[in-house]
Amino acid sequence: MGSNKLNTTGFSRRVFVLGALQGSLLAVLGGRLAWLQLVQGDKYKTLSDKNRVSFKLVAPPRGEIFDRYGVPLALNEERFHILLDSSRSEDIEESLRRLARYIDLNEEKIQSIIKKSKGVSSFVPLEVKNDVSWSEVSKIEVNSANIPGIYIDNTSVRNYPLKEASAHLIGYVGSISASDLKKDPMFSLPGVRVGKTGIEKAYDKSLRGDVGNQRNEVNVRGQKIRTLEQNSPGRGDNLFLSIDAELQKVVQGYLERYKSASCVIMDAHTGAVYSLASHPGFDPNIFTSSLDKKQWQELVSNPKFPLNNKAISGQYPPGSTFKMVTALAALEAGVIHAGTTVSCSGQYQYGKDKFHCWKRSGHGTVNVVKSLMVSCDTYFYKIATDLGIERLSDMAHRLGLGEKYNFDLNEERAGLIPDQEWKIGRFGQKWKPGETIISSIGQGYILATPLQLAVMTSRLVNGGKAVKPWLVGYVGEQKMYQEQWPSLGLSEKHLKLVHLGMDRTVNHKDGTAYQSRIEERDKMMAGKTGTSQVKKISSYEREQGIKNEDVIWRHRDHALFVGYAPLKSPRYVVSVVVEHGGGGSTVAAPLARDLLLEVQKRDPAKVKINF
């Protein structure tokens, strides 16, 4: 009987063929595996690492800023910000619109982010909104699946505890402008800010530190699994300033009594600035979160220029506060001596021009000390005529006017001390003797900043040393300041005469600032008032009896005062300018008195900068 079995040998042969085929296919697979894993293994290992390892720049925390006691002036605070990873979102605009359902995000902002996204590589996340509240964070977290590419991260936000009081001094940080983007690789990172004004700007590089990097293991979605290697970023340096934060606050409080004023309090010997304030100010913290256009417009268009640091960039005719320069120049030049007198009839005739003393009735016979005490203009008209502009401007420069000090703030302005060469260069005209006459009382072309007036006063009362002002004591642990300054080579005797004039201005019953004297014996002050004209009151107006108080605010005189204390061993110098405030003796002197009392009470000079 036939078996229902296949042709045995035929079947076996063909099964053998198939078996051999299976075996050789297995061998091919094994060979391929060996080829990939042994021969090409290194290549694929590299590719595998390239896959899983992501190199990332890391921004260090920005250096913080402290006053001389270690009180914080600028701090970092951890906040949340919303980021957009454009590589994870197919349609950025759609993602942003969905995000706008959960948080406040206007059309203008959406467009600006879309614009920004075109400028940067898709690997760099974009900041959508900073300083996000908890409720916004939770709303986004809950809905994150619906808004691809949007995620929340920690960031540090700058906080300025003194608010208005440190606005001009410390400045603020803001987003990096397109032109700055290339300057530091750190700038491409979201949330990194750059100093825009003040110390934040001037010391931006030190505060910023160096960008670090991280090698992270990431998954296919780019999410970090763990950190493989970290080159810690170079932390930004902390700054320790000469400022006394408490004093700064108090000073700002005093300035707020006026519409617009600024002041500098410094150490006559070391140049340390204890307070530098300008009013009106603004809260710098509004710049760290999002400042809207309206707020910005308000700040920019305000006629009192709240964004300007008037203490270093406000340039004013110094008025009578300049008279010490004229007196010292004349004394040093030998044009006058202690006993030289001038008779003041209330006006001074030069050629066919008539120059008025502020006191219509005249001061009678005055010497150099009395002329300072009563601020007799005629005396200075006369001696300036003999002195000439060159010697006057030379003394002004020696006392620190008309130049920058390479100060710690970039907003510093040079002021102006005119001379013959300047006049020709500026106007192509020869200098006129009459211009020397009005220069002698700090009017005309002369301009000085409150900081320069403080330096001038310091150089007069510190024994004639060429002190320069400074703010930054330490960058990290590096000392930045000097306390010893070279001598200007001024005569001790002449300086004494100027001191006496400033002493009597305040402490003599005929002095222009007698009402503002300090009676506590160990805190007595000396100084000089100044009232500088903004708009000349015409002789017609004078006859009509128009007084300064009747003129519109921005045409009123500036009130100035420079002073120092204690009287016997000068340490603290103050200079104040109340813009359009009126008279130096009635407005500026009382303010200066209050400030000198405060600074002596706190006595910051006795404490070394704590770093």
Partner 1 sequence: MDNLKLDKEVSVFNKFLSLKWGFVLLISCVACIGFAALYSAAGGEFSPWASRQAVRFLFGMGLLIFIALTDIRFWLRLSYPLYILGFLLLIIVEIMGQVGMGAQRWINLGFIQLQPSELMKITVIMALAKYFHTATAENIANIKFLAVGSLFIIAPVALVLLQPDLGTSLMIVLAGVAVFFFVGAPLWIFISGAVLSLASLPIAWFLMHDYQKRRVLTFLNPESDPLGAGYHITQSKIALGSGGLSGKGFLEGTQSRLDFLPEKQTDFIFTLWAEEWGLLGGLLLLFLFGLIFLYSLRIALRCRHAYGQILAMGLSINFSLYVFINIAMVMGLIPVVGAPLPLISYGGTSMLAALIGFGLILCCDLHKDAKLPRMHVTRSSF
6 near partner 1, rule: CB under 8 A: yes
> Residue 290, interface with partner 1 (CB under 8 A)?
no
Q: How far is the CB of 148 from partner 1 (least distance, A)?
A: 17
| Binding of partner 1 by 118 (CB under 8 A) | no
Nearer to partner 1, 6 or 546 (CB): 6
Given the complex with partner 1, which of 38 and 552 has the nearer CB atom?
Answer: 38
H/E segment holding residue 61 = none
Closest distance of CB 25 from partner 1, Å: 5
| Residue 178 in contact with partner 1, rule: CB under 8 A | no
300 binds partner 1 (CB under 8 A): no
Q: In this complex, which beta carbon is closest to partner 1, that of residue 217 or of residue 390?
A: 217
Q: At what angle do helices 450-461 and 492-507 cross, to 10 degrees?
A: 120
* Residue 93 beta carbon to partner 1: minimum distance, rounded to whole angstroms: 23
Total number of residues that touch partner 1 (CB under 8 A): 46
Q: Does 18 bind partner 1 (CB under 8 A)?
A: yes
Query: How would you classify the pairing of strands 526-532 and 558-565?
Result: antiparallel
Question: How far apart are CB 108 and partner 1 at their closest, in Å?
Answer: 34
Q: Which of 4, 179, 361, 484 binds partner 1 (CB under 8 A)?
A: 4
CB atoms within 10 A of CB 116: 15
Give, as ranges, the residues between 225 and 264 that touch partner 1 (CB under 8 A).
225
Q: What is the C-alpha to C-alpha distance for residues 111 and 106, in angstroms, rounded to an integer?
A: 9
Q: Which helix (H) or strand (E) holds 475?
A: strand 472-475
Tell me which residue of 115, 110, 90 sits closest to 99, measured CA to CA: 110
Q: Read off the tokens for 394.
A: 């030379």
Nearest to 576 by CA among 254, 328, 281: 254
Find the shortest distance in angstroms from Cβ 123 to partner 1.
14
24 binds partner 1 (CB under 8 A): no
Cβ-contact 266, 571 below 8 angstroms:
no
- Nearer CB in complex with partner 1: 29/607: 29
Q: How far is the CB of 286 from partner 1 (least distance, A)?
A: 43
Instruction: Identify whether 320 is a catalytic site residue.
Output: yes
In the numeric block, which tokens belong to residue 82? 């919303």
- Closest contact distance (angstroms) between CB of 50 and partner 1 is 9
Show Cβ contacts of residue 245 under 8 Å, excluding neighbours closer than 6 positions: 67, 69, 71, 73, 162, 166
Give me 359's structure tokens: 């006191």
**Amino acid at position 597, single letter:** L
Residues 6+ apart with CB under 8 A from 148: 88, 89, 90, 95
Alpha-carbon torsion angle 536, 541, 545, 551, nearest 10: -60
Residues 189-228 as x/- pattern, contact with partner 1 by CB under 8 A = ----------------------------xxxxx---x---
The count of residues in the chain is 611
Specify the residue, 6 or 607, whose C-beta has the smaller distance to partner 1. 6
Q: Please state, in angstroms and rounded to a whole number, the distance separating the CA atoms of residues 430 and 81.
A: 62
Which of 37, 106, 343, 544 lies at the binding interface for partner 1 (CB under 8 A)? 37
What does the block give as tokens for 464? 């004639």
Q: Select 43 or 496, whichever has its Cβ closest to partner 1.
A: 43
| 83-88-94 Cα angle (round to 5) | 75
CB 258 within 8 A of CB 86: no
Binding span for partner 1 by CB under 8 A among 43-51, 186-194, 208-216, 359-367: 43-51
**Shortest distance, position 188 Cβ to partner 1, whole Å:** 23
Residue 28 near partner 1 by CB under 8 A: yes
Cα–Cα separations (whole angstroms), residue 584 to 8, 318, 468, 497, 572:
128, 11, 25, 22, 19
x/- site string to partner 1, residues 322 to 361, per CB under 8 A? ----------------------------------------
**Of 313, 320, 375, 439, which is the active-site residue?**
320
Q: Residues with catalytic annotation?
A: 320
Contact positions vs partner 1 (CB under 8 A): 1-12, 14-15, 17-19, 22-23, 25-26, 28-30, 32-34, 36-38, 40-41, 43-45, 47-49, 51-52, 217-221, 225
